[in-house]
Amino acid sequence: MPTLDYSQTYSCPLCLRGEIRAFPLMDAFGCDFCRHIFSANLEEQVLDLADGQVPRRWYRKGNQWITKDQETFWGYGLFGLILIILPTAIVALGAYCFPPLPNSPLSWLPKLWVVLTLIFHLIFLSWLASLYFQFPFASYFRLFQERFHLVNFRDDNNH
Ligand SMILES: [Zn+2]
């Protein structure tokens, strides 16, 4: 039973907030909130992200979107863990095997270096994750701004 067709609107699988509907005369869906574009394969009942840097794919199950790239996701997750643990472990091992002389002026530096290695690799991984998920931070920020302005406008009318 096909559930995906161009005459209907669906919730957006990416931002989980907007609605996607087909563009007139085009075989593509667009989201009214995050403004991403999706291409659909009606025979296979799958939806592809058309304008992302990383390929994402979903299929329709009841009223929900199920992601098709679970395996890729775990592959990236494992890669991310290694990316954080390995450099930190190497730096920590160096600091442990070659400890600084006690009471030397920079004896705190190796510990700080280990912490900085961990923090910067976490930041790098978060950046990669935000690329993968394409989370629409800008759209949510715009929504927040609009709400804020609406609230202010309403307050002005009341007083
Ligand atoms: Zn969306």
Tell whether pTM > 0.85.
no
**80 Cα–ligand 1 center, Å:** 26
**91 Cα–ligand 1 center, Å:** 41
> Tokens in use for 46?
């799958």
**78 Cα–ligand 1 center, Å:** 27
Are the beta carbons of 60 and 47 closer than 8 angstroms? yes
68-83 tens-digit pLDDT: 666 667 777 888 899 9
Coil, helix or strand at residue 133: helix
Helix axis angle for 109-133 and 70-97, nearest 10°, is 170
Per-residue model confidence as pLDDT tens for the chain (159 residues): 557 889 999 999 988 889 999 998 888 999 999 889 999 988 888 899 998 877 888 988 878 888 866 666 777 788 889 999 999 999 999 999 998 888 888 889 999 999 999 999 999 988 888 777 777 778 888 888 888 887 776 655 555
- Cα 6–1–70 angle (5° rounding)? 80
**100 Cα–ligand 1 center, Å:** 53
**Which residues place a Cβ less than 5 A from the ion ligand 1?**
12, 14-15, 18, 31, 33-34
57: which strand partners? 48
Contacts of 128 (CB under 8 A, 6+ apart): 76, 80
DSSP structural state of residue 23:
P
Q: What is the pLDDT of residue 3?
A: 78
> Tokens in use for 68?
């098709």
**Domain chopping of the chain, boundaries:** 10-67, 79-148
**20 Cα–ligand 1 center, Å:** 7
**33 Cα–ligand 1 center, Å:** 5
Q: Which of 28, 10, 35 minimizes the C-alpha distance to 139?
A: 35
For the chain, helix, strand, coil in percent to 5 are 45, 20, 35
